[in-house]
Amino acid sequence: MSTAAATAWRVAPGGTVTGSFTVPGDKSISHRALMLGAIAQGETHIRGFLDGEDCLATARALAALGVRIERPAPTEVRVHGVGAGALRAASGPLDMGNAGTAMRLMMGLLAPQTFDATLIGDASLMRRPMERVAQPLRAMGARVDTHDGRPPVLIHGTPGMRGIEYTLPVASAQVKSALLLAGLAASGRTVLREPAPSRDHTERMLRAFGVQLEQRSGVISLEGGQALRATALEVPADFSSAAFFLVAAALAAEQPLRLTNIGVNPTRTGLLELLCLMGADIRVLPRGSTTLHNAEPVADIEVKAGPLRGITVPERLVPLAIDELPVFFIAAACASGETLVRGAAELRVKESDRLAAMAAGLAVLGVEHRLLPDGLWIRGTARFAGGRVDSRGDHRIAMAFAVAALRARAPIEILDVANVATSFPGFEECARQAGLGLAALG
């Protein structure tokens, strides 16, 4: 049966996990590789590409804008870059599916073009806030309309935008990246201040495409008008996908579980620090960097089960673990004592309201918790109940509760799981291979 076809899962309670395997390519890096390849001069070759729905939405949008994209293999892509300013108008709205990253970065890419464009998405994406990108783009001279702050986003192409000095109100790599893309096509300098570090894949990759960019104590700046030179990129395995197995192993790997070739860019690995603070048994075995060209550090990560204790999460780690917090909450539910996460209000505007979705699922399992405006308080327990949990169509909520089954007394049924294909095609097979008793329903 095709993995994308499942609409629900039934995950057997208990069990152990082990093995040595990798996970699919990094989603954030795959989106960026396509977009930068599209506006570079020459042919960019991407290996390790994430063949998931989100990145395919980006590829389709770029193709609609006149970029030739070849896929000699599912994880290999050739982007025939058209150079800055040579994209052409699409014949209809660009559908970004479930992908917030794709929509926000495309806003930065499209604002300085000579033509208009409309961005739409699925029901989840149509509810997500877009003014965080639209406002600073307008300050650069762009003409962008949202609908009550949400998609559809109408972009009236405006060549001749100006560089900006801007302090981001939230630590958001999507906003930062959109403004860097717009800044590349603008006149003058774009200077961005981050309130806290967020993932820096765009900065690293722009350098790989030959762009001069400065990064100093939370300030990123670049001069507009620089041309990108096509390059070869290797995408590491996605730490955010590995995260489900890191937690699964911390809970139930009697023999070590090893994840290979995982991207360990320090702006992504907050979960490793959190699990170590909880007392987890983790070894990171560096492998160097992916090709010299995009300099993303890579490692094998080995994890063994052991007792976990609850922690108060340092707020500085929240942006560095933002996508891993759903599965971290599962670790907290299995730890001894209390865990508190604050400063994570951003979780409310992800693919779902992840604080509410996790709280609702923990309630089904009988885990004591309190939902806070910007976080969760959880009291861990050795075992919890099973039951039926609604993922709310959110891939990371679905996978987090699959991991929870390792500590349940009865099966956990997880509804609305099709969107797992956005970030982790093949999750079901990987999970079964690791030892989870996951069966697809529907």
The residues binding ligand S3P (CB under 6 A) are 28, 101, 172-174, 177, 199, 322-323, 346
Catalytic-labelled residue, pool 95, 122, 200, 323: 323
Closest to ligand S3P by CB, 199 or 258: 199
If we measure between CA atoms, which residue out of 105, 149, 107, 145 comes closest to residue 127?
149
Question: Which helix or strand (DSSP H or E) is residue 147 part of?
Answer: strand 143-147
Return contacts of 283-289, CB within 8 angstroms, 24+ apart: 287/261
**Least distance CB 371 / ligand S3P (angstroms):** 20
Closest to ligand S3P by CB, 15 or 197: 197
Closest to ligand S3P by CB, 177 or 190: 177
Catalytic status, residue 238: no
Cα of 22 vs its chain's centroid, Å: 17
Distances (CA, A) of 124 to 6, 43, 174, 351, 392: 19, 34, 17, 6, 9
**Least distance CB 337 / ligand S3P (angstroms):** 28
Q: Which residue has the tokens 């500085």?
A: 316
Closest to ligand S3P by CB, 94 or 102: 102
Please say whether the dihedral angle defined by the alpha carbons of residues 315, 131, 240 and 33, taken in this order, is positive or negative.
Answer: negative
CB atoms near residue 167 (< 10 Å):
12
**Least distance CB 124 / ligand S3P (angstroms):** 13
How many C-alpha atoms does 272 have within 13 Å on its Cβ side? Answer: 20
Closest to ligand S3P by CB, 45 or 199: 199
**Least distance CB 215 / ligand S3P (angstroms):** 16
**Least distance CB 437 / ligand S3P (angstroms):** 28
CA–CA distance, 6 with 21 (Å, rounded to integer): 23
Task: Tell me which residues are annotated as active site.
Answer: 323
